[in-house]
């Protein structure tokens, strides 16, 4: 059925293969042999590394899921195992039965179809991880060269004030140390952008990816208000590796990248526009965690490094900034 929709498929496993992108005519950059794949387990999915073919791929995915989901099918796997429609084949070879997926969805209080999509996103991310780091490679040297604005050599005050311009003027932003939260005296760490512009990065090394309600003194999700950024980082990937994830989210998924911050430690922090809805956010985060992103930073009230502050004698600085 998949080949009837996509034409010839070069199967690499029982459930995953390379195929011609249904939107290949819309590609704006050269095609590669491994650019497009189809997976028939879980929620059947066609995935292409190009971004210009999104609408054609989405329509083909709807057709593929309608065809494969409309009639039960089975595939015999090595070792006498059987994969049925709706089952998920993990990278290690284990099969997650569709009944188990449905039970997990009930436990999580989530729609069974959406839970299946999330499981599929995780499995596909694991399958595509190696190719992603090759196709979207963006090492630190290139990040510095590619910045639309030259920012890395600016002085600390300029770094900080440049970063503040990303926020709407009405935003109440938290800046402090990890424990500058939870007591009435911590209100001084929750200030409007205009006040921070005058004060500078003097009250701490950290901020958050979301603004807060005016009058807040506790850094919590309940007090979030207004503008939000999705901050991405990894504790396991080197600087020359994590840039591939930033490039993928920016170029392939088309999220706006506002800045990249050198934390003066081992990692880089990339600030993106937050997803527009909870469904898109859950699916994006499911894949990013498999790629190696730190899920703790996905929490909008989680402390992250602010540019212009010093960390053990090293400057936390902007290294890439959108014009």
pLDDT of 136: 94
pLDDT of 98: 84
In this prediction, residue 109 has a pLDDT band, given cuts at 50, 70 and 90, of confident
In this prediction, residue 110 has a pLDDT band, given cuts at 50, 70 and 90, of confident
Closest Cα to residue 314, out of 254, 266, 251, 253?
266
Please count the other Cβ atoms lying within 10 Å of the Cβ belonging to residue 310: 12
Residue ranges of domains in the chain: 2-135, 140-321
In this prediction, residue 295 has a pLDDT band, given cuts at 50, 70 and 90, of very high
- State the chain's mean pLDDT as an integer: 91
In this prediction, residue 113 has a pLDDT band, given cuts at 50, 70 and 90, of confident
The set of long-range contacts for 160-165, using a CB threshold of 8 Å and a minimum separation of 24, is 160/196, 160/200, 160/201, 160/306, 160/307, 160/308, 160/309, 161/197, 161/200, 161/308, 162/307, 162/318, 162/321, 163/259, 163/261, 163/306, 163/307, 163/308, 163/318, 164/193, 164/196, 164/197
Residue 88, pLDDT above cutoff 90: no
CB 264 within 8 A of CB 315: yes
pLDDT of 321: 97
The Cα 128–Cα 132 span in angstroms is 6
Residue 185, pLDDT above cutoff 80: yes
Structure tokens given for 311: 């960390």
For 132-168, write each residue's pLDDT tens digit.
999 999 999 999 999 999 999 999 999 999 999 999 9
């Amino acid at each position: 059925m998949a080949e009837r929709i996509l034409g010839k498929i070069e199967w690499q496993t029982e459930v995953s293969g390379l195929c011609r992108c249904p939107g290949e005519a819309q590609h704006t950059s050269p095609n590669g042999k491994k650019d497009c794949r189809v997976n028939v387990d879980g929620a059947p999915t066609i995935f292409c590394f190009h971004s210009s073919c999104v609408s054609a791929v989405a329509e083909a995915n709807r057709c593929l899921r309608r065809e494969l989901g409309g009639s039960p099918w089975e595939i015999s796997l090595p070792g006498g195992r059987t994969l049925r429609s709706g089952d998920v084949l993990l990278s290690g070879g284990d099969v997650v039965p569709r009944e188990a997926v449905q039970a997990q969805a009930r436990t999580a209080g989530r729609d069974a179809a959406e839970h299946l999509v999330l499981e599929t996103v995780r499995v596909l991310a694991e399958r595509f991880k190696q190719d992603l780091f090759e196709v979207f490679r963006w090492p630190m040297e290139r990040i510095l060269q590619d910045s639309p604005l030259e920012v890395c050599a600016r002085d600390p005050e300029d770094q900080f004030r440049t970063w503040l311009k990303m926020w709407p003027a009405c935003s109440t932003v938290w800046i402090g140390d990890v424990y500058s939260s939870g007591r009435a005296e911590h209100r001084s760490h929750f200030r409007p952008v205009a006040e921070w512009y005058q004060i500078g990065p003097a009250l701490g090394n950290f901020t958050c990816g979301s603004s807060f309600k005016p009058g807040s003194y506790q850094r919590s999700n309940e007090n979030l208000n207004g503008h939000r950024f999705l901050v991405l980082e990894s504790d396991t990937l080197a600087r020359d590796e994590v840039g591939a994830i930033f490039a993928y989210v920016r170029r392939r998924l088309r999220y706006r990248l506002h800045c990249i911050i050198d934390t003066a430690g081992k990692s880089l922090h990339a600030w993106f526009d937050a997803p527009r809805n909870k469904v898109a956010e859950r699916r994006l985060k499911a894949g990013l965690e498999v790629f190696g992103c730190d899920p703790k930073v996905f929490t909008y009230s989680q402390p992250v490094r602010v540019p212009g502050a010093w960390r053990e004698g090293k400057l936390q600085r902007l290294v890439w900034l959108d014009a």
